[in-house]
């Protein structure tokens, strides 16, 4: 077996071991890959991982075979580059790097410019024509080598450099001249000799073997051992060593350096894109000290720039680069981000990797490459990050516009909007009706603010997390939202607002960027989204490849239309309580709550029935032909109670009941932990007349819409917060009874299902029993996360951020499902539910239904559908397709 | 195989099938059992279950063999009684009853007096000397037989009786004379003939076979089928039929009837105990129309009664009864509650069963019987209901005293107390310091009321359930408590109280009975508990037989002493937060909470350190040599914040911070669902300095007490509300670090453990991982129930009662562990925890640790100990012993 593999030059890649990273390490295998497809990679060689282990077991000694093989490989490099290692006239310089199977902190990193000594430095200076460059390279080499190979204290060298600059009155390294560096080299060598007891090695072969030994030994360093233990990496893997010829782009006017993309990373267009600099090193392009030049003539002319493009200035190297672009895309089948250097007219590739791109470019490239036949549809689908689609569906801020940033909150709902500050929902509605754009600013929002959130262009809250009420509702409505902006402080009585140290009045204009969480003063221009043809094409492909259905969480006809436009295949969660907050109804709702007995409740419910029926009819018309899951009333009743004195007084008049009585009733309804209180099906059990009214409204509306013709909807009546089979049994019987009554009255029978949310740990554990009463389960992973983790979403702000910072949770568990914990409950409930009722329909309607990682988990446990807020429907479609493709692999 | 089995008289019980209830049914087997040990049971016979099935499969026809066997058995009864069936002079009457393997609603119940007809009724009248009795018996027989055998409408007979009474101007049946009954019999027979189309059967054999057929056929009645389906009883079990001679205690002065206990059921003493009446029926003893007489001469004399005892009046029958008592105790090895009848000088046993008894009697009998050798220790342990011990440990109301009951709440903590009404905790403390007995009355209590609860003799709340704050704390302190008394309404501003329609002022005296939930006006005398020697004896036996340890939940030295006195083997839960509410400390606590940064918090914590150290030292001294589990701070910080304006003002002065600032901070700390908020280990993660102070206090106190000599305690530091391994890892490291610091400072090293509560579903699911950081798990089943079921204990009052009523939960899941749901989590966590850390110590410290059914579950899943509030420690010791004995079976 070979101990060393060559790459570059005329190397032969026929031995499959060379591209096997268990043999040549990650870096070595990659270099062989690039060189193997004909890229001009600086030549070099890789010593195998096996050799490192044999070196260590042999008691840190090189085998004769290795010494011979390295000598042969060095000759290969010399041949390929046309220089000799240690040549006093024109020396070959090399880099030495470690390269384990995976990238690993604790390993020796890099030694550059190896091969320099007191003699070869002069050759380099003469040959490059840059004396300063040569001496700077030499002092860098001594510094690096002393640090990583000789393990001397690097502080000593840094100190010497600082003193040298001080002595000369310099502030930066750039001011150091050739002879300054030369003098410093002398001092460095003295330091080495003092510290080490012997001089800095002048023999280039001794330098090389020293570096190789250092890489080998670093496998057994303490840091490497700790890292291996923490990451379960076996000590038996060993590390490879890569020795590679140095190339320099700063060797005069025939040298250059640059970065390039094989396609335009911001638009996705198929044009070469990049920047370069003549006579420069890689850092110069990035550092921005010199203005980089365009790569192509067309680009230069389009920009009206004077400095020549690479196409014009170095036509041969450019031609070679163009050939490389083609090679790369054909080989890697993706847009590549590359670094290159031209050394004295010769192109060298230093790195290639898949390039980062904007959402728009990702979409276009995926579709284009599939059309070009470069990739198949499946790959195109996997190529686009579903979350990136969010950018495409909302207006964004003009990236060129100026921003007067006041502060930052959480990027709670994407999109951008400007408008006048309003401090309450009623004002928001009022001003919006006057055709003014408004931004609703609240400490936090509550269900009572819904009409104001609808009226506003954007929502800003001082408190609450990514899954606070404001965030969830805003995402559902597609409104941009910045939440938890702690810099915001509201003085409601003065109708003013502080953001950081700036004061605003109600009516002043601000701008929100929901994608970054930034809050800006004044109006910042926005760009409307372009849903180009590529979007539709990719969505079609995704739909062909996904197994799970995608529904939406929606309760207004507007939201339903939006979601259907985005491809929703039904409603997975229609929250009926939002309908109760409507200004025209809240007094009937309050009358119901405050009624002293059942008959009083029934009278109030009788007033609500036609309203609810109207709501459902409108939704059923919009969703015609699709299933609609309607959840019966869920929140605790006190959420509907008035809180302000005016509201109590209004209610007192309309009900002819004293304010004191009302306040006492409201206080009686108060709960310490409403999340765990008298809500969900507990309302249905204790006040069955409420669920009866809702069931009647659903079935009457379904009959009404069916009577109008068109495909009937299939109502799926969902009972919330079930923990026991008996609860569901009682309420399923209630719904069935009402359905039968309505069907008899209407002379029409419709299909419908009764099922339940699985949103309590007990429900998940008892799913086998509960499934005896259920035609479907919908996982309410918001509440399931709250209860399983014992974390109130509304209160988590104070500790969830530090928790994620400390790695206690990898991500906010309300954003991405806690698969380890909550996931166990979902999986177990799915299994037990199916064991009892094999055809039970399983879906998810928590916020996680729009999160790609959570969707992948849903695919894994075999759910039938996910349900997401309208603007997340396309994300869910794509994520579901990706999950299906990945699980098929 | 026999179709009929005889009992009584000279019957032979050698066929084991006769005592097998699958053959002779529950009742038949029991009759054979009693008769078999020589009890004078009225003779009779049992037709086997097999015959009922064969009758039904044969198309409702009797086999010839059955007819012959029944005839033979009837002859046996006639012989035994000395009367003949259908004899016109002295007829044998029988009862016919069904008797399935288990008692079963829907089956034919009983026909009495079968054998009466127009002729035999005269014989009965002549022979008994009671014409009225005979005709009344006959009309009852017609009524019952027509109802259950002939299936005629029983309303017709009742109506005829009502008319008969009206016609005669009678108000009650008692006024009916012999000839009135005789006339009614005529009318009844007319009704039967009209309804049935043929006359009431006069042939006594036809009567008998009709009744037997009715029993057989009732096995296939709709009600029986429904019951079988609901209770999973196979149709193939069938039912037996029991035919038994009637006996009458009302046949003159040589007849009598009575009830008796083999020992005194209220004291447990070994004396015969009972009542009897000459010439009376069983109902007469119970109905209280005549004053029953004493059984023994000694009792009669002791009571100074005139009417003769049975011992004196019927020495022979009494002698026979005494022989029966001995037989019964020897056979059943338990105190028996019997019903007997003496018919014309002859004693008949109608029933025997294990007798109900007071807690005190249960204890004494169990110990006595074991001492007598009647039962073994194991049986003695199993004989006493652990919950009954509660009565013995608390004062009780004098049962003879008058009670002016005002209303009733939940029996939240046992015991009885009288005292002056006080409406707040400060007043309670103030008046108590003046040596007045007070009852603290609150809408509900909060941690701020603790000092008042300590000061009070009893606690009454208008809201809150069996596991509300008031209930839990009161049980822990051993104070009687009545909670959730909805009839109580408090007007704090007027310092008055309404209970139902009565008004009270602060200072008026009321009495609470925590065992029944009754609230009484004025002072009701109480009886102090006597912890007789039997108590200690039984507890010792229990301790020898239990596997699990029993610890206590306690945090004051008083509670610790009480618990240790009751046999606690350590502390399972010491809640440190209760110490923070102390008046002398709360300002330091508040200063800590309101501090703007860590250094401010540390300064305040520094003031608390010596106080906490003192608390722990005192507890460690009390619990010397035992393990003490101390839970670090758990509740949300805002619980410590002031709520009243005066408190804010006081705090504002002491901290020199504006009231507005304080109120804003308090509002910022407000949480929507504090139960799921910033509490438990989340405080330790975000404010590590709090847990550092507490850990330091624990270890310094442990060193201090150890330095004083005596057995050192083993502190077990418990981290609350853990959901992830990482939380515990971070905090375990913190505790270990502080321990090392303290041990270094003190020059002493002590054993200690760090472990965690398992009180969140996620913690249970992830127990395998969490166990890697834990030396013990303590199941916090209160919070685990809250989160698994999604039910806030404080808010459950409004729906939990209807839930239990509707059978949604069999019991209040906060009182008795929800084994189906929450139990799964406990079992799974125990398994997974042990799989990772085989020697992990497992305990329970929720309220369920004092509930016998929950304790049995803990035994089943193999927990190492249970921890209960001090007054529940004896209950837990006994319940743990019973659980161990039962699981060994």
Does the distance separating the beta carbons of A726 and B808 come in below 8 Å?
yes
Return the pLDDT at B86: 96
Return the pLDDT at B285: 65
Percent of chain B whose pLDDT exceeds 90:
64
**Token pair in block for residue A215:** 């890489």
A671: chain B residues, CB-CB within 8 Å: 792, 794-795
User: pLDDT tens digits, residue range B538-562?
Assistant: 999 999 999 999 999 998 888 899 8
Q: What is the dihedral of CA A819, A825, A828, A832, to 10 degrees?
A: -150
Q: How confident is residue A410, by pLDDT bands cut at 50, 70 and 90?
A: confident
Is residue B286 scored above 60 in pLDDT? no
**Of these residues, A469, A545, A638, A848, which one is catalytic?**
A469
Return the pLDDT at A661: 84
Return the pLDDT at A289: 58
Tell which of A215, A245, A275 closes a domain: A245
Do B282 and B249 touch, CB atoms closer than 8 A? yes
Return the pLDDT at A730: 95
Judge if A27 and A49 occupy the same domain: yes
Best residue of A464, A685, A729, A762 to probe chain B, by most B CBs closer than 10 Å: A762
Is residue A134 scored above 90 in pLDDT? yes
Distance of CA B587 to the CA centre of its chain: 44
Does the distance separating the beta carbons of B765 and A789 come in below 8 Å?
no
Judge if B411 and B275 occupy the same domain: no
Does the distance separating the beta carbons of B724 and A799 come in below 8 Å?
no
- Tell me if residue B440 falls in helix, strand or coil: strand
Q: How confident is residue B288, by pLDDT bands cut at 50, 70 and 90?
A: low
Is residue A672 scored above 80 in pLDDT? yes
Q: How many CB atoms lie within 10 A of CB B183?
A: 17
Domain-located, residue B680: yes
Judge if B77 and B141 occupy the same domain: yes
Question: Distance between CA atoms of B780 and B848, rounded to whole angstroms?
Answer: 9
Is residue A531 scored above 90 in pLDDT? no
Does the distance separating the beta carbons of A686 and B825 come in below 8 Å?
no
Question: Distance between CA atoms of A547 and B499, rounded to whole angstroms?
Answer: 64
Domain-located, residue A434: yes
Residue A59 is part of which domain span?
4-245
Query: B234 versus B882: which is more confidently predicted?
Result: B882
**Token pair in block for residue A563:** 């979601």
Which residues make Cβ contacts (< 8 Å) with residue A734, sequence separation at least 6?
A684, A688, A691, A692, A695
- Is B357 one of the annotated binding-site residues? no
Tell which of B338, B354, B370 closes a domain: B354
User: pLDDT tens digits, residue range A146-185?
Assistant: 999 999 998 999 999 999 999 999 987 778 899 999 999 9
Sheet of A293-294: strand order equals: A293-294, A273-278, A256-261, A336-343, A346-354
Domain-located, residue A158: yes
CATH of the domain at A460: 3.50.30.10
Sheet of A239-245: strand order equals: A4-7, A44-47, A239-245, A94-100, A110-114
What is the least distance, in Å, from the CA of A491 to any CA of chain B? 13
User: pLDDT tens digits, residue range B838-853?
Assistant: 999 999 998 899 999 9
Best residue of A672, A720, A810, A817 to probe chain B, by most B CBs closer than 10 Å: A672
Q: How confident is residue B289, by pLDDT bands cut at 50, 70 and 90?
A: low
Q: How confident is residue A803, by pLDDT bands cut at 50, 70 and 90?
A: confident
Q: How confident is residue A107, by pLDDT bands cut at 50, 70 and 90?
A: confident
- Is A575 one of the annotated binding-site residues? yes
Helices in A447-576 by DSSP H: which ranges? 450-455, 469-477, 533-545, 557-565
- Tell me if residue B525 falls in helix, strand or coil: coil
**Token pair in block for residue B202:** 């006069």
Tell which of A296, A325, A354 closes a domain: A354
Which among A672, A678, A809 is the nearest to B799, CB-wise? A678
Domain-located, residue B742: no
Long-range contacts of A30-38 (CB under 8 A, 24+ apart): A31/A7, A31/A242, A31/A244, A32/A5, A32/A7, A34/A349, A34/A352, A35/A7, A35/A8, A35/A11, A36/A7, A37/A327, A37/A328, A37/A331, A38/A327
Which residues make Cβ contacts (< 8 Å) with residue A865, sequence separation at least 6?
A548, A549, A550, A551, A569, A570, A572, A841, A842, A843, A844
Do B423 and B442 touch, CB atoms closer than 8 A? yes
Distance of CA B455 to the CA centre of its chain: 30
CATH of the domain at B641: 3.20.20.60
Domain-located, residue A282: yes
Nearest CA in chain A to B670: A795
Return the pLDDT at B530: 66
Q: How confident is residue A287, by pLDDT bands cut at 50, 70 and 90?
A: low
User: pLDDT tens digits, residue range B562-614?
Assistant: 899 899 999 999 999 878 877 778 888 888 888 878 888 999 999 999 999 99
Return the pLDDT at A319: 95
Return the pLDDT at A286: 56
User: pLDDT tens digits, residue range B431-485?
Assistant: 988 888 999 999 988 877 888 898 899 999 998 777 678 887 887 777 899 998 8
- Is B575 one of the annotated binding-site residues? yes
Judge if B63 and B200 occupy the same domain: yes
Q: How confident is residue A283, by pLDDT bands cut at 50, 70 and 90?
A: low
Measure the N-to-C terminal CA separation of chain B; round to a whole number of Å: 33
Return the pLDDT at A532: 62
Judge if B701 and B781 occupy the same domain: no
Return the pLDDT at B745: 97
Q: Give me the mean pLDDT over the A313-317 stretch.
A: 95
Q: Give me the mean pLDDT over the A572-588 stretch.
A: 85
Which residues make Cβ contacts (< 8 Å) with residue B373, sequence separation at least 6?
none
Judge if A93 and A238 occupy the same domain: yes
- Is B117 one of the annotated binding-site residues? no
Do B282 and B350 touch, CB atoms closer than 8 A? yes
Return the pLDDT at B434: 82
Q: String of b and e for B103-120 (b: at least 16 CB within 10 Å)?
A: ebebbbeebbbbbbbeeb
Least confident among A287-291, A441-445, B185-189, B516-520: A287-291
Return the pLDDT at A758: 98
Do B189 and B199 touch, CB atoms closer than 8 A? yes
Domain-located, residue B250: no
Judge if A613 and A662 occupy the same domain: yes
- Considering its fold, how many domains does chain A have in total? 5
Q: Which of B559, B553, B548 is nearest to B572 (CA)?
A: B553
Question: Distance between CA atoms of B514 and B47, rounded to whole angstroms?
Answer: 50
A806: chain B residues, CB-CB within 8 Å: 685, 726, 730
Judge if A402 and A312 occupy the same domain: no
The verdict on ipTM greater than 0.85 is no
Judge if B463 and B507 occupy the same domain: yes
Question: What average pLDDT is seen over chain A?
Answer: 91
Nearest CA in chain A to B791: A676
Return the pLDDT at B724: 96
B762: chain A residues, CB-CB within 8 Å: 788-790, 818, 821-822
CATH of the domain at B262: 3.30.470.20
DSSP character string of B393-428? HS-EE-TTS---EEEE-EEEE--EEEEEEE-SHHHH
Is residue B677 scored above 90 in pLDDT? yes
Judge if A209 and A77 occupy the same domain: yes
pTM for this entry = 0.81
What is the least distance, in Å, from the CA of B486 to any CA of chain A? 12
A788: chain B residues, CB-CB within 8 Å: 760-762, 765, 787
User: pLDDT tens digits, residue range B406-437?
Assistant: 999 888 888 899 999 999 998 998 898 888 89
The answer to whether A845 is a known catalytic residue is yes
B825: chain A residues, CB-CB within 8 Å: 761, 765
Judge if B454 and B477 occupy the same domain: yes
Is residue B122 scored above 90 in pLDDT? yes
Domain-located, residue A376: no
Question: Distance between CA atoms of B216 and B208, rounded to whole angstroms?
Answer: 13
Return the pLDDT at B114: 97
Q: Give me the mean pLDDT over the A725-734 stretch.
A: 96
Nearest CA in chain A to B790: A676
Query: B260 versus A759: which is more confidently predicted?
Result: A759
Does the distance separating the beta carbons of A802 and B686 come in below 8 Å?
yes
Least confident among A356-365, B66-75, B688-697: A356-365
Domain-located, residue A739: no
Judge if B589 and B563 occupy the same domain: no
């Amino acid at each position: 077996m070979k101990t060393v593999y060559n790459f570059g030059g005329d190397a032969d890649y026929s031995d499959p071991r060379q591209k096997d990273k268990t043999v040549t390490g990650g870096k070595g295998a990659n270099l062989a890959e690039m060189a193997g497809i004909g890229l001009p990679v600086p030549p070099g060689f890789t010593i195998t991982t096996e050799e490192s282990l044999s070196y260590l077991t042999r008691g840190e000694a090189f085998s004769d075979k290795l010494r011979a093989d390295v000598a042969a490989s060095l000759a290969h490099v010399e041949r390929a580059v046309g220089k000799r290692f240690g040549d006093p006239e024109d020396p070959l310089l090399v880099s030495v790097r470690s390269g384990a199977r995976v990238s690993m902190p604790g390993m020796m990193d890099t030694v550059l410019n190896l091969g320099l000594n007191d003699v070869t430095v002069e050759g380099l200076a003469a040959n490059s024509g840059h004396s300063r460059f040569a001496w700077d390279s030499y002092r860098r080499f001594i510094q690096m080598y002393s640090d990583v190979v000789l393990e001397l204290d690097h502080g000593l060298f840094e100190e010497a450099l600082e003193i040298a600059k001080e002595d000369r009155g310099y502030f930066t390294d750039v001011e150091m001249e050739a002879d300054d560096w030369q003098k410093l080299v002398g001092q460095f060598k003295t330091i080495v000799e003092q510290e080490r007891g012997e001089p800095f090695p002048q023999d280039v072969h001794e330098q090389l073997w020293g570096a190789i030994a250092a890489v080998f030994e670093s496998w057994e360093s303490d840091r490497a051992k700790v890292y291996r233990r923490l990451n379960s990496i076996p000590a038996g893997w060993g590390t490879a060593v890569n020795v590679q010829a140095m190339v320099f782009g700063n060797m005069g006017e025939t040298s250059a350096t640059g970065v390039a993309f094989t396609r335009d990373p911001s638009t996705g267009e198929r044009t070469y894109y990049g920047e370069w600099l003549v006579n420069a090193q890689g850092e110069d392009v990035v550092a921005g000290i010199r203005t980089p030049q365009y790569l192509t003539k067309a680009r230069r002319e389009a920009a009206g720039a004077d400095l020549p493009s690479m196409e014009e200035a170095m036509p041969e190297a450019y031609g070679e680069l163009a050939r490389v672009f083609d090679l790369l895309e054909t080989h890697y089948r993706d847009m590549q981000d590359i670094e290159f250097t031209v050394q004295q007219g010769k192109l060298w590739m230093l790195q290639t990797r898949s390039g980062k791109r904007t959402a728009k470019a990702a979409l276009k490239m995926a579709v284009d490459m599939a059309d070009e036949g470069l990739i198949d549809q499946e790959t195109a689908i996997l190529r686009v990050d579903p979350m990136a689609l969010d950018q495409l569906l909302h207006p964004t801020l003009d990236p060129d516009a100026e921003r007067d940033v006041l502060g930052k909150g959480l990027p709670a709902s994407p999109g951008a909007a400007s408008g006048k500050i309003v401090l309450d929902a009623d004002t928001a509605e009022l001003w919006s009706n006057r055709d003014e754009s408004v931004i609703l600013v609240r400490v936090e929002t509550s269900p009572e603010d819904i009409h104001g959130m609808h009226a506003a262009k954007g929502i800003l809250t001082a408190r609450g997390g990514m899954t606070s009420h404001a965030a969830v509702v805003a995402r559902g409505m597609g409104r941009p939202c910045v939440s938890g902006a702690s810099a915001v402080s509201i003085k409601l009585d003065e109708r003013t607002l502080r953001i950081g140290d700036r004061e605003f009045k109600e009516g002043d204009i601000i701008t929100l960027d929901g994608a970054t969480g930034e809050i800006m003063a004044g109006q910042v221009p926005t760009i409307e989204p372009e849903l180009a043809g590529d979007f539709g094409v990719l969505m079609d492909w995704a739909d062909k490849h996904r197994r799970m259905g995608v529904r939406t969480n929606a309760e207004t006809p507007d939201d339903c239309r939006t979601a259907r436009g985005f491809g929703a295949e039904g409603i997975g969660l229609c929250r009926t309580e939002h309908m109760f907050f409507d200004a025209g109804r809240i007094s009937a709702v309050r009358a119901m709550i405050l009624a002293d007995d059942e008959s009083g409740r029934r009278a109030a419910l009788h007033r609500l029935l036609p309203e609810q029926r109207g709501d459902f009819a409108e939704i059923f018309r919009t969703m015609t032909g699709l299933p609609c899951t309607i959840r019966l009333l869920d929140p605790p009743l006190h959420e509907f109670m008035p809180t302000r004195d005016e509201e109590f007084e209004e209610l007192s008049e309309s009900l002819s009941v004293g304010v004191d009585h009302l306040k006492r009733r409201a206080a009686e309804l108060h709960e310490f932990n409403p999340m765990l209180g008298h809500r969900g099906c507990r309302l249905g059990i204790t006040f069955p007349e409420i669920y009866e009214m809702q069931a009647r409204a659903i079935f009457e509306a379904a009959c009404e819409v069916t009577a109008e013709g068109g495909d009937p909807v299939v109502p799926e009546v969902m009972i919330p917060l079930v923990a026991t089979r008996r609860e569901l049994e009682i309420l399923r019987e209630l719904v069935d009874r009402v359905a039968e009554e309505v069907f008899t009255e209407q002379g029409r029978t419709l299909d419908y299902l009764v099922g339940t949310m699985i949103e309590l740990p007990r429900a998940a554990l008892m799913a086998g029993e509960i499934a005896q009463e259920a035609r479907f389960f919908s996982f309410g992973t918001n509440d399931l996360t709250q209860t399983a983790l014992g974390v109130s979403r509304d209160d988590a702000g104070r500790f969830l951020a530090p928790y994620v910072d400390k790695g206690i949770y990898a991500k906010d568990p309300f954003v991405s499902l806690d698969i380890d914990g909550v996931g166990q409950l979902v999986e177990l409930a799915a299994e037990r539910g199916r064991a009892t009722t094999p055809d039970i329909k399983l879906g998810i309607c928590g916020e996680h239904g729009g999160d790609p990682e959570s969707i992948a988990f849903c695919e894994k446990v075999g759910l039938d559908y996910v349900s997401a807020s309208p603007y997340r429907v396309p994300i869910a479609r794509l994520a579901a397709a990706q999950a299906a493709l990945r699980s098929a692999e």
